[in-house]
Amino acid sequence: MKTGKVVLVGAGPGDPGLLTIKGQKAIQSAETVVFDRLVSQAILGMIPADAERIDVGKEASHHKVPQEQINRILLQKALEGKVVVRLKGGDPFMFGRGGEELELLAEHGVPFEEIPGITSAIAVPAYAGIPVTHRDFTSSLHIITGHQRAGKPLDIHFGALVKTGGTLVFLMGVSALSDICRGLIEAGMDPDMPSAVIEKGTTSAQRTITAPLSLLPQTAKEQMVKSPAIIIVGKVCTFAGQFNWFDRLPLKGRRVIVTRPKERAGRLSDGLRALGADVAELPCIETKPIIPCPEMEQAVAEIAGYEWLVFTSPAGVKTLMGYLQSIGKDVRALGQIRLAAIGTGTGRELQNHGLRADLIPETYDGEHLGKAICAQHPSGKVLILRAKMGTPALTEQLDKNGVEYNDVRCYDTEYIHYDPEQVKQLLTPGSVAAFTSASTVKGFIAAMGTDTDYSGITAA
């Protein structure tokens, strides 16, 4: 049996863009992933489809799985020979109990490593426009756990913290906010010291509440602040209004549902997140090559008899390249044929295989693709490789202009089935559903069920 190992991976504070490259590679190579509740859905979406998922999510005052049991799970899976990723919010060694999880592994000689994550203590203030250090205000930063064991007082030396004059960042301290503020004031801190609570930091739902230290607990209560949130105390909090770049993003707070296939969602999702959107990926369709496909096989064998090869999606390119690979050939089998792509996404897929589209219409749909091909006045035959349920708009244009073609349906589009109630939970007031094809619309409707009221959803 192969020797397993455990990799502790810090997932960062929430924004999937803050996951490190090394952390992403570890997740993508995992056989078992043990994860907490603060890991974003976008990062969980990176887990391989065939990997085992174990949810041990913990939240304040409620441990879904006790820490000791988590430690045993990691050991057991590693002893089974698995590559285990322990995925934790923030940084595993920053109040994340990562050290405790390694102790049992070390006792049993199980190999392990730790991949640091960006800690919320620095990233969340940054997203709220608060620099944790500033030459004119402070030269030190102090990170403190605000976690309060049930029935026990906070174990914090408030007097020492006040004497430093530095920025104070309390993690996991929402439930103890009143005790923290009172402790600092009683230790001599100015009751008017600028302070802040930042809820759900680095996510589209981030909220920043600022107030003088003495008023912060009442202000947070009025605003109904809940975990996860961090507390910042120090003069640097005065920069929150001036430097708060994240709240100014145009899609901040808007939920956008991306319906395109999982393998193609990344580019759109990343662009939306860069604009501040809360992206929920809900792949509504998946494409599968039709195997065997005698019509495509014959067309490839007779490729020299065609002038144009037309693709209406990246799936067509992938299907053809997969077939060529299966018969021991590559793009050289296509000879001098000219290539047409319905849009830039399909054009990029051609580029991935060392090919360049000779034609991409200005408007990315079947009708305009057909018109663009006809404008080239082809004298030879056109080969179209597309979905089983492809739109007739493309071939209607070719028929209208007397262009000879072979319309080969080489892959199928299937709808992905979800629990309609689960899907509806993704919809918040003002949600936007982003569609990239007619198939994604149909797949979304199938996922939502027949009794859905769509009046509150904006379709893009």
- What is the distance between the alpha carbons of residues 263 and 2, in angstroms, rounded to a whole number? 31
Can you read off the two tokens belonging to residue 133? 């250090």
Q: For the residues of 202-265, what is the DSSP string, one character each?
A: TSTT-EEEEEEGGGHHHHHHHTT--SSEEEEESGGGGGHHHH--GGGSTTTT-EEEE-S-HHHH
Which of 45, 79, 42, 40 has its CA nearest to residue 57?
A: 40
Burial of residue 286, with CB atoms counted within 10 A of its CB: 0-12 exposed, 13-18 middle, 19 or more buried: middle
Per DSSP, the three-state class of 320 is helix
List the catalytic residue out of 58, 88, 200, 318. Answer: 58
Residue 62 DSSP symbol? E
Tokens 């262009």 appear where? 403
What is the 3 state secondary structure string of 181-214?
Answer: HHHHHHCCCCCCCEEEEEECCCCCCCEEEEEEHH
58 tagged catalytic: yes
* Kind plus residue range of the DSSP H or E element containing 168: strand 167-171
Question: In sequence order, which residues have a C-beta less than 8 Å from that of residue 356 and are 6 or more positions away?
Answer: 339, 347, 350
Residue 359 DSSP symbol? B
Per DSSP, the three-state class of 58 is strand
- What is the distance between the alpha carbons of residues 342 and 337, in angstroms, rounded to a whole number? 17
List the catalytic residue out of 5, 15, 36, 453. Answer: 36
400 tagged catalytic: no
**Dihedrals φ, ψ of 27, to 5°?**
-60, -45
For the chain, the straight-line distance linking the first and the last C-alpha, in angstroms and rounded, comes to 51
User: Catalytic amino acids?
Assistant: 36, 58
